[in-house]
Amino acid sequence: MKDLHIAAMTLTCAAGSGLDALRASLRNGESGLRRNDYPNCELDTWIGRVEGVENVTLEGDLARFQCRNNQLAALALDQDGFRAQAAALLERHRPERIACVVGTSTAGISSTEQAFRELDEAGEFRPEHVMPWVHTPHTSAAYVAAALGLEGPVQTVSTACSSSAKVFATAARLIESGWADAAVVGGVDSLCLSVLYGFHSLELVSSDPCRPFDRDRRGLNLGEAAGFAIVEPRPQASLGRLLGWGETSDAHHMASPHPEGAGAIAAMRLALERAGLAPDQVGYVNCHGTATPMNDRIETAALRTVFEDPPPASSTKAWTGHTLGAAGITETVFSLLSLGDGFLPASLNCQDPEPDAADFILREGRRQKVDAVMSNSFGFGGSNCTLIMGAA
């Protein structure tokens, strides 16, 4: 396997836009969750909404991509000098040799919802809603490739909540097998009625700020985020190395995880095997940790199975909400920050931890230098992805 690096990254979510703002939020325990104020949604819950997404306009040729998901992506691309980093990447490689792989679950669906709310008298879309580049799951990668001028393979991964973790594995394969020399990867998911009412219908939404791994947790909060990274074999600077990944399926149920976490366990083990690491070489785990009663219990048991003595671990979802198709990139960026900064974030809002997790779930942020970090992402359809990153 080629030695793959993360050459650049950025993240925008409710807890902050750009890495400096996020570092401050993580250190100060400042959650981005707020009482639900999403338009047309009456649910009593908290959400991780990003301020100002609705004010972004996509100009010129990119106007065909105008929707909340791509507006959020545009906001994220504006942070941390990411557009300049992508331009520099285009100096190092031909555009045809740079792949674009983006994960999403919501894609442009908030615009599709609006188009259906505003049908004309014949029951058809009004002309302003006839946007073929928006009403498709592929809108996310298509927009990013167009916005950055990438001309290598373009792919949207849409496997629910594992989507934007899997983009790293996809990029690694495309580079390994010679389809690309480098890749821009990422994930974008935006708030929409489909996921707010959908998770509500499954009785998984909490009316309070979520409390991952707390024994009194009541469910998840939904959030939105966009994040991007450059994956490159020999970058000019490196934020960390992509050491391993494991992608598995539960083969159990569309919406419930395997009761013993078999798929999660297999994903973590595959990632360790590919990284060539023993479990005790992992210094921090960023958990999927959705704060649903079932996820956190099963993930705890899975961690106990893989690690004899689990390393410090936390879920960062009480900062961001569950950003679904963007959860993978969100938590990969947090994991890389902990690797680079030597600061492990707390599992915010976990006051009285699940007994089996009490010895390893971080209730306070901790200064601790680590050499390798793991990030877990598990989704509907039983789709699991674990990533392991190491120091540059």
Partner 1 sequence: MNVRLRILGSGLSAPGLPDIDALAAVLAGGELGDEKPGSSSISLLSPRERRRCPETVRLSMAAAEQACSAAGIDPAQPDAVFTSGMGDLAISDYMCRTLAETPELLSPMRFHNSVHNAAAGYWSIGAGARGDVTALSGASDSLVTGLIEAASRVAADRRPVLLVVYDTVADGPMRAVWSPRHPFACAFVLGVADDAEAAIELHAQEGLRQDDCPPLPAALAERSADNPAARALHLLALSLGRGHGPLRLAARQGPGLRIEPAA
- Give catalytic residue positions: 161, 288, 322
CB of 21 to partner 1, least distance (A): 31
CB of 216 to partner 1, least distance (A): 24
Where are the alpha helices (H) located in 248-326, listed in sequence order?
262-275, 293-306, 317-320
Residue 64, interface with partner 1 (CB under 8 A)? no
Residue indicated by tokens 């680079």? 340
CB of 101 to partner 1, least distance (A): 9
Taking the least distance from each CB to partner 1, the nearer of 127 and 355 is: 127
Residue 207, interface with partner 1 (CB under 8 A)? no
Which of 73, 75, 89, 157 is the binder for partner 1 (CB under 8 A)?
A: 157
Which of 135, 215, 218, 363 is the binder for partner 1 (CB under 8 A)?
A: 135
Quick check: 245 and 386 in contact, CB under 8 A? yes
Residue 130, interface with partner 1 (CB under 8 A)? yes
Q: Which residues pair with 384 in a beta bridge?
A: 248, 378
Distance CA 71, CA 225 (A): 11
Taking the least distance from each CB to partner 1, the nearer of 115 and 243 is: 115
Which of 64, 138, 269, 363 is the binder for partner 1 (CB under 8 A)?
A: 138
Residue 147, interface with partner 1 (CB under 8 A)? no
Residue 248, interface with partner 1 (CB under 8 A)? yes
CB of 327 to partner 1, least distance (A): 14
Tokens, residue 153: 């393979």
Residue 255, interface with partner 1 (CB under 8 A)? yes
Residue 294, interface with partner 1 (CB under 8 A)? no
Which of 44, 54, 128, 176 is the binder for partner 1 (CB under 8 A)?
A: 176
Taking the least distance from each CB to partner 1, the nearer of 105 and 320 is: 105
CB of 265 to partner 1, least distance (A): 11
176: enclosing H helix or E strand: helix 163-176
Contacts with partner 1 by CB under 8 A: the residue count is 73
Q: Of 93-122, which residues contact partner 1 (CB under 8 A)?
A: 96, 100, 105, 109, 112-113, 115-117, 119
Q: What are phi and psi of 186, to 5 degrees?
A: 175, -170
Provide the b/e sequence for 211-237 (b: ≥16 CB within 10 Å): bbbbbebbbbbbbbbbbbbbbbeebee
Provide the b/e sequence for 2-25 (b: ≥16 CB within 10 Å): eebbbbbbbbbbbbbbbbebbbeb
- DSSP character string of 35-65: E---TT-----EEEPPTTGGG----GGGGGG
Taking the least distance from each CB to partner 1, the nearer of 19 and 374 is: 374
Output the CA–CA distances (angstroms, integers) from residue 90 to 169, 226, 232, 283, 392, in the order listed: 22, 21, 12, 34, 22
Question: Helix or strand or coil: residue 335?
Answer: helix
Residue 250, interface with partner 1 (CB under 8 A)? yes
Residue 304, interface with partner 1 (CB under 8 A)? no
Q: Of 218-247, which residues contact partner 1 (CB under 8 A)?
A: 247
CB of 224 to partner 1, least distance (A): 17
Q: Nearest 10 degrees: CA dihedral of 321, 67, 131, 9? A: -80
Q: Of 368-387, which residues contact partner 1 (CB under 8 A)?
A: 379-383
Tokens, residue 145: 């490739």
